[in-house]
Chains A and B, each alone.
Chain A
């Protein structure tokens, strides 16, 4: 069965810190891995990764995928209170049309 495991489950840091969130997966016929940020309601899209070793970057956020070791990391540098959210990792495969989510990492950034 496909599995997505995120760690840590929660993390508390202070503004300015750098954080690394982890997502490991077991997926048959892997197609892509996506990162989302969920604040109050809907998950908002951050990154989609399909190839190993290619870093995707957006401002202070970056992410990379390792298809050999079956994991991805999401880095946030110089964290701000507005980064406080649950960060979700999701993977999908070529076999079907659904997307399997991890339980998320709850990040709290204190001023």
Chain B
């Protein structure tokens, strides 16, 4: 099965700006996830999303972050006011069911200046 498609592949932004990262899944996927990986560090869980609602979120996923699926297809991660430490690769991932393999998109690299 194909992985999800993420856009943009790379975004450079100024500190304090809002950023929206997009994930375009195959329509029969129900479970979506956002992970991030700061350069040279571990892959970290941010949030999981099921049936158009957040099902879990980590301590990293604070009020600056939000997720939604505005049109029933694209799945977005918004960072309201970016900080330097938000610079990372952001991966969207999907599962068909609640268990089973987690498949990652190619990632969006965010650079905050």
Contacts and interface: CB of A to CB of B under 8 A. Distances in A.
Nearest to A48: B101
B43 A90 contact: yes
B92 to A, nearest CB: 9
Interface in B32-88: 33, 41-45, 48, 50, 55-56, 58
Interface of A: 31-32, 34, 36, 41-45, 48, 88, 90, 96-104
Contact of A45 (B43, B45, B58, B103): B103
Contact of B56 (A44, A88, A97, A104): A97
Contacts of A98: 33, 45, 48, 56, 58
Contacts of A45: 101-104
B2 interface: no
Interface residues of B, number: 25
21 contacts: A34-B102, A36-B104, A41-B89, A41-B107, A42-B3, A42-B105, A43-B43, A43-B91, A43-B104, A44-B104, A45-B101, A45-B104, A48-B100, A90-B102, A98-B33, A98-B58, A99-B45, A101-B43, A102-B42, A103-B42, A104-B42
A99 B95 CA distance: 12
B98 interface: yes
8 closest residue pairs by CB, A with B: A98-B45, A97-B56, A42-B104, A101-B43, A97-B48, A45-B101, A96-B56, A42-B106
Given A42-B107, A98-B45, A34 B101 contact: yes
A98 B33 CA distance: 8
B99 interface: yes
B87 to A, nearest CB: 16
Contacts of A88: 43
A101 B44 CA distance: 7
A83 to B, nearest CB: 19
Contacts of B102: 34, 45, 90, 99
